[in-house]
Amino acid sequence: MKRYERFADDIAELIRSGVLGPGQRVPSVRYASQTHGVSPSTVFQAYYLLERRGLIRARPRSGYFVNTHASRQFNEPQAHVPVNVSTEVDVSALVFSILESMKDPQTIPFGSAFPSPSLFPLQRLSRSLASAGRGMDPRMVVTDLSPGNPQLRRQIALRYMVGGLMLPMEELLITNGALEALNLCLQAVTQPGDLVAIEAPAFYACLQVLERLKLKAVEIPVHPREGMDLGILAQTLEKHPVKAVWSMTNFQNPVGASMPEAKKQELVELLRRHQVPLIEDDVYAELYYSAQAPKPAKAFDTDGLVMHCGSFAKSLAPGYRIGWVAAGRFAQKIERLKLMTSLCASMPAQAAIADYLQHGGFDRHLRKLRYALEEQQSAMLGAIARYFPEQTRVSQPSGGYFLWLELPEQMDSLKLFRMALAQGISIAPGPIFSPTRGFGNCIRLNYGSPWHPGAEQAMETLGRIVRSF
């Protein structure tokens, strides 16, 4: 064991034993270095390790503090292994019935798919919209049809470049949100009846897209930390005529898993060998809590087989419905499909976001947003530690705004959904994330709204209902 690991274990024991309580400041790097006879570098490495374990967190210009949930160590959810057969997808009726019940603005939105609008610079965006509207050239009605506003595409290409990925603008297509991008990608590479490998659990919108396009699904289990099981995916590709793989490689919805870079590279190489395209749903890419943004699988694509889909809905502009795809070898086909369906995304919205990216301080906003989400995650984990049964397993993602909870086996999450809704609390029950209606004892909780006494009370109520089963 390395010296920083031993030091981290010593601090962890102080936390578990209660010597360092929730919310307390841990020794400063300088003080710890002097009193324990280790270098500042060793202390930093130990604190980074404790951060990854979810025991402490850094506060800007204040030091490191014990997380509110740190006295209780959660087990992570298990990676369920589904039966490896193709499945007709028929989930929309269940999904729509649950989404309809969440529309009451008085309901605590733990079941929502969106972060709170209060976290976004909507007034500043409005100024960009007004400015872009005044300066809009009427000829844009023709010139900015698909692939989209060139200034916006240039700004997106620049963000890829900053992340180390050089993409030609010709590969970028602006869409009506990421969901249209994902739809177009599937249409470009499949026909009705084809088989698509998806994650288990998977975001319910993915299932609805497959259902609408009359595609079949084969489920690949998701590890709560490392994402899609590539061993099972490899076996599936050998056994079944898979036409595409749909994966959220960063902060997967609903589990929150993120593939390590080496695994993303392995995924791309596996699909290259089989010549199977990857549809990479990366809408939470900007919502990371670490010092560096995670690379997409697209960064390892040399054959143009990866279609990387993103959106501003989760990071900047909910409601503007502006997404994009870096479409690789499929760019021309997807552009033509776009022209055949919706022509182009909203021109004023495209121009407004282009203006904001250039002049509005996007990175400054993102830093505030990430900090808020990380604080809210800590608050929800603390509430789970206080109110939920000991057997509860919880994901602890390093980005996004969802927690995936695996509850005791006797739990019926659909029944829990109805009981919670009667108390004014929405949750997302596990069966809506699987074409086979699996994950019956699992729920997804959204921590994307600022924490307040009502949220704390709702978690206490929810925990009490769970304990009653």
Q: pLDDT tens digit string along 293-340? A: 999 999 999 999 999 999 999 999 999 999 999 999 999 999 999 999
Q: What is the mean pLDDT of the chain?
A: 90
Give the CA count within 13 Å in the CB-facing half-sphere of 85: 4
pTM for this predicted structure: 0.86
104-139 exposure pattern, b = at least 16 Cβ within 10 A, e = fewer: eeebbbbbbbebbeebbbeeebeebbeebeeeeeee
Query: For 403, what's the count of Cα atoms within 13 Å in the CB-facing half-sphere?
Result: 28
Provide the pairing of β-strand 63-66 with 56-59.
Answer: antiparallel
| Closest by CA position to 7, among listed 109, 25, 37 | 37
Task: Give the CA angle between residues 136, 139, 145 to the nearest 5°.
Answer: 95
**Predicted pLDDT at 422:** 93
Residue 324's DSSP bridge partners are: 174, 310
In this predicted structure, what is the pLDDT of residue 336?
Answer: 96
Q: Give the tens place of pLDDT for each residue, 139-166.
A: 776 767 889 999 999 999 999 999 999 9
What lies within 8 Å, CB to CB, of 469 at 6+ separation is 408, 410, 411, 412, 416
pLDDT in the model for residue 65: 87
Tens digits of per-residue pLDDT, 79-94? 776 655 666 777 778 7
Percent of the chain, pLDDT > 90? 68
CA distance 466 to 442: 11
What backbone torsions phi and psi does residue 428 show, to the nearest 5 degrees? -110, 110
- Token pair for residue 22? 């929730």
pLDDT of residue 69: 65
Q: What integer pLDDT is reported at residue 346 of this predicted model?
A: 92
DSSP class of 25: B
- Whether 287 and 312 have beta carbons less than 8 Å apart is answered as no
Can you give the pLDDT at residue 298?
98
Residues whose CB falls within 8 Å of the CB of residue 343, separated by 6 or more in sequence, listed in order: 145, 146
Given this model, what pLDDT does residue 85 score?
63
Q: Low-confidence residues of the chain, pLDDT below 70?
A: 1, 16-17, 52-53, 68-73, 81-87, 141, 143
Q: Say which residue the tokens 């699996």 belong to.
A: 438
Q: Which pLDDT belongs to residue 375? A: 82
Say if CB 403 and CB 373 are below 8 A apart. Answer: no
Question: Could you tell me if 38 and 79 are in contact, meaning their C-beta atoms sit under 8 angstroms apart?
Answer: no
Q: CA neighbours within 13 Å on the CB side: how many for 319? A: 9
The pLDDT score that the predictor gives to residue 19 is 79
Domains recognised in the chain with CATH numbers: 3-66 (1.10.10.10), 87-117+364-468 (3.90.1150.10), 122-361 (3.40.640.10)
With a CB cutoff of 8 Å and minimum separation 6, the contacts of 207 are 89, 91, 95, 198, 217, 432, 433, 434, 435
pLDDT at site 63: 87
